[in-house]
Structure 1
Amino acid sequence: MRPLRWLPLAPATVLLVLFLAGPIAYCAYIAFTNMQLTGSSSADFVGFENFRRAFSDPKFRNAVWLTLVFTVLSSIVGQNTLGLALAGLMRRASKPVRTLTGALVIAAWVLPEIVAAFLLYAFFRREGTLNAVLDWLHLPSQNWLFTLPILAVSFANVWRGTAFSMLIYSAALSEIPKEITEAAEVDGANGVRKVIHVTLPMIRRSIGTNLMLNTLQTLSVFGLIWAMTRGGPGDRSTTLPVFMYDQAFNKSLIGYGTAVALLLLLVGALFSVVYLRLARAEV
């Protein structure tokens, strides 16, 4: 009778194998071939040649660096810090302020990625809103998508994704017993010390979960960057997803592009392992 206990899991297991494990295994196979979109339809096994090509390619190394910059700025620092700050401020704000702030922040989150990208493109472009405000204030303006493209797309990702962090931290802060914060205040802890020694240790698991989910989401951002800069000018905003797309579909190098995708998957797995270990560590 015991094998029958696993019978309800069989449909889910079959679906995971067909639509998750199967495609991943096929992509892993393609990464070790020279498959192309054009030319010969056959794909020859080339071993680790695609991976050797990637690590010797200056454009790949540039994409890795820009991916790390984009992830640190927009996820680890931007969304995480701003989301925690908004959650803390909203706890002390009046109900109308909380409702208005929450609606504005979540509105950016629920927008389709392509819509958010065009809104931020209109904001940062040479004739856009930001420069119009700077000109009105008699401050120097510039073409932000040309001079600081990676910062522009990082800001766009922060603007769009902060609501997720805010919601996680709002739920985590609401679970902190008032007795603990009141005891800290009685002991003379000010606002900064209370945050460092009480609030952050109490929500450390939520911090780890939020960082892991935000980092994985940010590592896979493609549409936002492609719509705003197409990885340019040159390759100054070409992150790994953009580089992978360019190699696989613009240059028809499916095998090479898939190898880059596997390396990106490895980077995401490494971040996940680090966050999970931090979340399980004792305070």
Structure 2
Amino acid sequence: MEIADSRVKVKRLSDTKKSLLFLIPSLILLLIFFIGPMVLTFIFSFTNLALTGAAAKHTEFVGFENFTRMFEDPEFRTSVWNTIVFVFFSAILGQCLLGFLIAFMMKEKNVTFRRIVGLIIIAAWVTPEVVVGFCWVAFLSDNGTANWLIGLLGFKPVAWLFSFPMVSVIIANVWRGTAFSMMVFQSALDEIPKEVEEAAHMDGATRWRIVTSITIPMVKGTIATNLMLVTLSTLGVFTLIYTMTGGGPGVETTTLPIFMFKQAFVSYQLGYGTAISLVLLAIGAIASLIYMKILKTKV
């Protein structure tokens, strides 16, 4: 009996070694393309690494100088505020809320209707950001479709990208990204047993009561997960904003990714730029923890 047990243990150990052997290529790729760059980013944020000048030849360790400079920079503080506004209205109130409403309204519809509406919405999501950006620039330009439509109503043309730049990029990002939230919530809502809602309805619960007391609590984990994913993706939005406004006019749409790009690849201060990227990473981590704390769920 002991011999048989020892043979089983040896076989399990052998299987474990074989499994680890197959994982080695994935671990190497993870080390090279994920862990390695993260470690280098952390190291470079404490240096004066640059693409031009004396620092390009002789990179030195400068400690927390980049972070001190960052928090003393008015443009950095403006970019943080712009990022918060953009994420709140674009991700939380925009994509998440709108995605949930669309998924909820499509819940009881027939399959053909859901497919048609879903295809129209998903078409925007699969379109590259740079293409979406140029489409919205054309739509909101002085001679664009938006001004043509309000001209039909007797109103004067509006310089949307100059007078309302943040509103313009928020609307464009909501238009593009809502499909992801819609698909996530649609899948979660379809998993709710109809019997539960029907029983509540028979007990006299109103539609609003069913949504707030049954539907939302049952998809709470999905809401937290979607909020985190959409927030993190919106924090990193660069191409759409840069294509539409370039971060302007002035610094009105300069979010942290735009500010980081300008410092790292326009001013060639790579050390300063990587320090900004760590702040962006920290904001994403803090937002994720807040979502999990508020919704009291494990993700």
TM range (shorter): over 0.9
Conservation of the 8 A alpha-carbon contact between 1:67 and 1:240: yes
CA distance in 2, matches of 1:35, 1:246: 15
Give the match for residue 106 of structure 1. Answer: 122
Residue 82, structure 1, aligned to residue 98, structure 2? yes
Give the match for residue 29 of structure 1. Answer: 43
Shift, 1:277, TM fit: 3.6
Segments of 5+ residues of structure 1 without an aligned counterpart are none
- 2:177 aligned to 158, 161, 167, which one? 161
Conservation of the 8 A alpha-carbon contact between 1:28 and 1:262: yes
Segments of 5+ residues of structure 2 without an aligned counterpart are 1-9
Shift, 1:99, TM fit: 2.1
Moved more, 103-112 or 267-276: 267-276
Residue 6, structure 1, aligned to residue 20, structure 2? yes
CA distance in 2, matches of 1:35, 1:135: 52
Moved more, 11-20 or 249-258: 11-20
Q: Secondary structure at the match of 1:92?
A: coil
Conservation of the 8 A alpha-carbon contact between 1:208 and 1:278: no
Residue 128, structure 1, aligned to residue 144, structure 2? yes
Identical pairs, percent: 47
**Alignment size in residue pairs:** 282
Post-superposition, which runs of at least 4 consecutive aligned residues in structure 1 deviate over 6 A? none
Amino acid at match of 2:33: F
Shift, 1:152, TM fit: 0.6
CA distance in 2, matches of 1:248, 1:281: 38
CA distance in 2, matches of 1:188, 1:138: 49
Residue deviations 1:213-259 (CA, integer Å, cap 9, x gap): 00000000000000000000000000000000001111111111110
Residue deviations 1:125-173 (CA, integer Å, cap 9, x gap): 2221111101111134311111111111011100000000000000000
Give the match for residue 186 of structure 2. Answer: 170
Residue 50, structure 1, aligned to residue 71, structure 2? no
Shift, 1:276, TM fit: 3.3
Residue 238, structure 1, aligned to residue 259, structure 2? no
Give the match for residue 93 of structure 1. Answer: 109
Q: Secondary structure at the match of 1:226?
A: helix
CA distance in 1, matches of 2:297, 2:83: 27
Residue deviations 1:44-85 (CA, integer Å, cap 9, x gap): 110000001111100000000000000000101100011001
Q: Secondary structure at the match of 2:107?
A: helix
Residue 117, structure 1, aligned to residue 133, structure 2? yes
Shift, 1:9, TM fit: 2.7
TM-score of the superposed pair, with normalisation by structure 2:
0.91
Question: What aligned pairs does 1:257-268 form with structure 2 within 5 A after superposition?
Answer: 257-268=273-284
Give the match for residue 248 of structure 1. Answer: 264
TM-score of the superposed pair, with normalisation by structure 1:
0.96
